[in-house]
Amino acid sequence: MLPEEVYKRRHYGTPQSVQLIIANFTVLTVAISIFAGGKHVNWFFWVLMGLLVIYNVLNIRKDREEYNRARIIAYVFSVLLMIALFLAIRLKV
């Protein structure tokens, strides 16, 4: 049998906050390319963004102890970057 210490070890892999930011950018880029690439933004794009917001709120509430000041700043910066990405793609800059 394995010692009990093996089961108590914690794996410090990719933090949940980084996985959340990666998931946000992935969903946003796919949604923009499918639903907001033309002249008009499809209504389903906004539904998808609303679902993404709900997912973010639930994920942050679940892992609240992981979010320190630096990770909150990184998350807010990523949200601002996603807004800039949306505007840049829509305006074809």
pLDDT tens-digit map of 27-64: 999 999 999 877 889 999 999 999 999 999 999 999 88
| Average pLDDT along the chain | 88
Buried b / exposed e across 53-78, counting CB within 10 Å, b at 16+? eeebeebbeeeeeebeeebeeebeeb
Q: What are the DSSP E strand ranges found in 1-93? A: none
**pLDDT given for residue 15 in this prediction:** 84
Which candidate, 93, 16, 90, 79, places its Cα nearest to that of 49?
79
**pLDDT given for residue 6 in this prediction:** 66
**pLDDT given for residue 21 in this prediction:** 95
Give the amino acid at 21.
I
Measured between alpha carbons, how far is 18 from 78 in angstroms, rounded to an integer? Answer: 10
Task: Give percent helix, percent strand, percent coil of the chain, each to the nearest 5.
Answer: 75, 0, 25
Helix (H) or strand (E) holding 85: helix 69-91
With bands split at pLDDT 50, 70 and 90, how would you rate the model's confidence at 85? very high
pTM of the model: 0.80
